[in-house]
Amino acid sequence: MAKLWGGRFQKETDTLVEDFHSSISFDQRLYKYDIKGSIAHARMLGRVGIIQPAEADAIACGLEEVLADIEAGRVKFSVEAEDIHMNVEQLLTAKIGEMGKKLHTARSRNDQVALDIRMYLKDEIDSIIALLRGLQLSLLDLAEKHIDTVMPGYTHLQRAQPVTFGHHLMAYCEMFRRDVERLDDCRRRTDVMPLGAGALAGTTFPLDRVYVAKQLGFTAITENSLDAVSDRDFAVEFAAAASLAMVHMSRFCEEIILWSSAEFSFIELDDAYSTGSSMMPQKKNPDVAELIRGKAGRVFGDLQALLTMLKGLPLAYNKDMQEDKEALFDAVDTVKKCLVIFKPMLETMQVKKNVMAEAARGGFTNATDLADYLVRRGVPFREAHEAAGKAVLYCLEKGLTLDRMSMDDYKKFHSLVEEDVYKAVDINNCVDSRKVPGGPSSEKVSEAIARARQRLE
């Protein structure tokens, strides 16, 4: 097959190079964006008089037919044509003849691929944001159900202070909100149209770049032709934002895995989102959560691949940049797959409220509240902290909890303790008295849920 760039070459490309060089095996997913961009480019060429308006119309109609053929499965892409851009151009030329060769006027594959990737990524960011918002809504529904479900809060994976499951879920809602904000910010910088930059130095033809940008839904055009074709910052930004979203899902999955173990038994995952063992009949494994946790590493690797690919490149375009697509596509696909399955896994899990509450009561998570009780009676905090710590040690030795200790025992640790201490160390009261903004009281969690719903709307 004759190369579209073959004029100065006297030898055929080696077959090994054909396969090594070709990107059609993965960049074919950009076909819709390549064709849409080409239609806008052709119409602009006709509009400014670089080609005849009738030629522009014929090219646009031919491209629409190529699109229909691809979507109907009637096209077999060619490795010899290297990439999606040259495949589309050859399919167009086969359909409308020599006129198809005018399409590439005032354009390079360098600005063309930059355009395609930006268009693709804008759509994918919108899809991922929609999935994240759907997940947030599920979290809000679940948090609303569990505003009063007391559980231990942890530091160092040791029981620390009582919170509610609703409050715990809202922490992840905040993380996913930041993920949306980061993606939205990344989209803003992706939404810049590079077509017209040519190979690196623009073109001598009088292009109307603003017209093309409007036709393709871009809000701005690139300001520097060298940067336009060599910039992949937006892809790196996306991979970084995607990596953080995966970190948040992975952290959540780690907790789900712990909570579903017999040692915690806070939740039970639905059978539909668990698997068994081929050898041990009693097993119910949290494989979906484990896979999401594992797939986070893939996305981190995609980010690292993009950064490493770019770090030593001189301006402007270099063939190394062909490596951007597989990493970007994998990051997109992995995040979407994980979000799609994470939501129903979460919605169908059974929450064991009694086990959570008992864990909060049994772990001395109310010890800080005992210290605070003494502080409110005028005891310096360090003294109160020591008294509460000694009370905990006593309970451990006697097999007691702070809410079951007698008043005589309390008096051993501080003379200012009175009967109202039992209200102070009551687990439910410990949670509900934390009414500081951002705290776990039912009042503050309800307010947080309402604000989150308002933002999502």
Active-site positions? 156, 277
Contact status, residue 315 vs residue 226, Cβ threshold 8 Å: yes
Is 236 within 8 Å of 323 (Cβ atoms)? no
**CB proximity list for 282: less than 8 A, separation 6 or greater:** none
Contact call for residues 300 and 245 (beta carbons, < 8 A):
no
- Write the Ramachandran bin of 168: left for phi over 0, alpha for psi from -120 to 50, otherwise beta: alpha
Long-range residue pairs from 164-171, CB within 8 A, at least 24 positions apart, any chain = 164/431, 164/440, 164/442, 164/445, 165/351, 165/353, 165/356, 166/142, 166/442, 166/445, 166/449, 167/143, 167/439, 167/440, 167/445, 169/139, 169/142, 169/143, 170/139, 170/143, 170/445, 170/448, 170/449, 170/452
Q: Which residue has the tokens 């051993």?
A: 412
Distance CA 145, CA 347 (A): 12
Provide the β-strand partners of residue 162.
Answer: 152
The rounded distance, in Å, linking the Cα atoms of 219 and 118 is 12
DSSP code at position 198: T
In terms of residues, how long is the chain? Answer: 457
Residue 161, strand partner residues:
153
SS3 160: strand
Query: Residue written as tokens 């719903």?
Result: 453
C-alpha to C-alpha distance for 424 and 372, rounded to whole angstroms: 9
